[in-house]
Amino acid sequence: MNAREKAQNWLGQDIDQDIKEGIQTLLDGPETELTEAFYKELEFGTGGLRGIMGVGSNRMNKYTLGMATQGLSNYLNKTFPNEEIKVAIAYDCRNNSTYFAEITSAVFSANGIKVYVFEELRPTPELSFAIRTLGCKSGVVLTASHNPKEYNGYKAYWDDGAQVTPPHDNNIIKEVQNITSLTDIKFEANHSLIEKIGSEIDSQYLNSIKSLALDPQAIEKEKSINIVFSSIHGTGITMVPPALEMLGFTNVNIVKEQAEPNGDFPTVIYPNPEEAEALTLALKLANETNADLLMATDPDADRVGIAAMADNGKFELMNGNQLISLLANYTLNKRKELGTLNTSTQYMVKTIVSTDLFDTICADYNMPCYNTLTGFKYIATTIRELEGPHQFIGGGEESYGYMPSAVTRDKDAVASCALIAEMAADAKSKGKTLWNVLHDIYETYGVWYDSMTPITRKGIEGADEISAKMKQLRANSPISLGGDKVVIIKDYQSGIEKNLETGSEVKMNFPISNVLQFFTKNGSKISARPSGTEPKIKFYFSLTQKISGKGEVESTNKRLKENVEEIINDLNLNQW
């Protein structure tokens, strides 16, 4: 069916009157709007749903959400026959998140599944924790993470507290696709199967975070360290301040203008701590109060952005690669100092597009470091595979996500804020800022300049453009980037690693993914990856150079940044 036929098909079914009116408005309006709303199904991908809220098969609404939950319910009932099936549900601050949580609860319960739903908005990592704590088979969080305010989403989890992975993700997708009529969705809630949860899970979650402190004495020494925190109108306000207080920090200043949860995100353009603009108010407060550390979380509090005082006397933002490198360095150094480092049983994990400085630090401590595809569900898969004799002690990715332990199985900004604050306190006790520590790392291991260039292409045409760009890069791969010869190409779609110098090819041991990586003679890594959650293609640049002293950090950074611009020109990204 084309978009108009699909809209008319919906209109002819027994659906809510407001949805019918919205469909009729689309049918009477511009064809482009109708097409965007109905040209395809809102895809239940490997992590769930994410899309613009509104009427249509390609929008987040009661019925697309209902189909996803019905499909997941069907799969759970087939997978665990004759067992009590329990699920947990959390939701964030976004418009309609509470309503979507109610719909999700209703459909699960109508299918005979026990539902634990948080009584108020809570961070995504607490949902992961609740699944494991309550013995659930699955879970859902209603969030679109850091997307613009028009979006909402639905992330599905399995019994280990991680987002669904093969074979479950593909099997759930098949069940969702098998729902051919909106009347297949069971919306009549069984309220006897729905139970509200709250403070008891909060306490257990916070206690688990407190137990993760590597050096409580370091916190006690600098417990009055001046911390500025912003939740950017999201769920972080519910858990981050209590976590810092429980650890003993006594001087936490909240950005009041952004403390109230609000799905319109009135003080920012994008509610994303990766965007400098979103931290404008936090930076203002940090400078006014002469703070030591600034931390800000995204709407569902799985990502955290930070800033610290630089040598120029101003607060400077750090990127996600710098943050995960600092956390890896602190974790390994502190464990070695305290005698809790065990390289025969412990390990760390990062994603393939993240900085290799992380790997380099791990190698210096002889700590095993595994690389996975982008996404914490793959980090969680590694944890699941190694669970038992091996201990996960930290892992992260460049997009401002970190997980300090296996207590949760998704990126955890609450636990990360606790560890970052401890790390900053430890640095201050030595008369240093986090920027000073980072420059120490650069002096030891070389300067790493890591950046990411996202290119947005919306709608049907945009998806085609992104697909065409990846095909072009595969068909005409660059032989040189930024004046540096390309020596290795890794194509995660074909699963082949090709050495351009020897002509040899080897099969990589990774799941199939639409990612291309180019490695140069001098150690640069350039990655291209279409986003799985946004209408974007992302280009990641990771360049490095050795230095002989801290005085060379800034000049080296400048040279590497200029080199990235050359690579961008070589890939024709400015003209595309």
Domains and CATH numbers, the chain: 40-197 (3.40.120.10), 205-445 (3.40.120.10), 447-570 (3.30.310.50)
CB neighbours (10 Å) of residue 16? 12
Taking residues 164-175, what's their average pLDDT?
A: 91
Taking residues 213-224, what's their average pLDDT?
A: 96
State yes or no: pLDDT of 46 exceeds 90. Answer: no
pLDDT in tens, 407-435: 999 999 999 999 999 999 999 999 999 99
- Tell me the C-alpha distance between 143 and 555, whole Å: 41
Taking residues 528-536, what's their average pLDDT?
A: 84
Taking residues 557-567, what's their average pLDDT?
A: 96
* pLDDT, position 287: 92
- Tell me the C-alpha distance between 397 and 430, whole Å: 28
Taking residues 261-272, what's their average pLDDT?
A: 96
> What three-state secondary structure class fits 325?
helix
Nearest C-alpha neighbor of 519 from the set 488, 550, 547: 488
User: Which amino acid type is present at position 217?
Assistant: Q
pLDDT in tens, 55-98: 999 999 999 999 999 999 999 999 999 999 999 999 999 999 99
pTM for the whole structure: 0.94
Taking residues 504-524, what's their average pLDDT?
A: 95
Q: Which residues contact 313 (CB under 8 A, 6 or more apart)?
A: none
**HSE, side-chain direction, 13 A CA sphere, residue 34:** 17
Task: Tell me the H-state helices in 255-311.
Answer: 280-288
- Tell me the C-alpha distance between 318 and 20, whole Å: 48
Phi and psi for 155 in degrees, rounded to 5?
-105, 130
pLDDT in tens, 358-409: 999 999 999 999 999 999 999 999 999 999 899 999 999 999 999 999 999 9
* pLDDT, position 467: 93
Q: How far is CA 206 from CA 210, 237, 330, in A?
A: 6, 13, 22
pLDDT in tens, 289-322: 999 999 999 999 999 999 999 888 889 999 999 9
Nearest C-alpha neighbor of 116 from the set 238, 240, 201: 201
State yes or no: pLDDT of 42 exceeds 80. Answer: yes
- Tell me the C-alpha distance between 370 and 367, whole Å: 10
Phi and psi for 97 in degrees, rounded to 5?
-60, -40
Region of residue 265 (left: phi > 0; alpha: psi -120 to 50; beta: else): left
> What three-state secondary structure class fits 525?
strand
Q: Which residues contact 560 (CB under 8 A, 6 or more apart)?
A: 447, 449, 543, 544, 545
Taking residues 177-202, what's their average pLDDT?
A: 96
Nearest C-alpha neighbor of 488 from the set 524, 435, 449: 524
Under the banding of pLDDT at 50, 70 and 90, the label for residue 479 is: very high
Total number of residues shown for the chain: 576
- Tell me the C-alpha distance between 197 and 390, whole Å: 32
**370 in Cβ contact with 359 (< 8 Å):** no
Tokens of 465: 């453009």
State yes or no: pLDDT of 356 exceeds 70. Answer: yes
* pLDDT, position 164: 93
* pLDDT, position 471: 95
Under the banding of pLDDT at 50, 70 and 90, the label for residue 43 is: confident
Q: What is the mean pLDDT of the chain?
A: 95
State yes or no: pLDDT of 225 exceeds 90. Answer: yes
Phi and psi for 52 in degrees, rounded to 5?
-70, 140
Share of the chain above pLDDT 90, in %: 90
* pLDDT, position 89: 98
Instruction: Supply the residues annotated as catalytic.
Output: 145
- Tell me the C-alpha distance between 565 and 574, whole Å: 10
State yes or no: pLDDT of 574 exceeds 90. Answer: no
Q: Which residues contact 295 (CB under 8 A, 6 or more apart)?
A: 227, 228, 229, 230, 240, 304, 305, 306, 417, 420, 421
User: Which amino acid type is present at position 513?
Assistant: S
Under the banding of pLDDT at 50, 70 and 90, the label for residue 180 is: confident
Taking residues 155-163, what's their average pLDDT?
A: 96
* pLDDT, position 461: 86
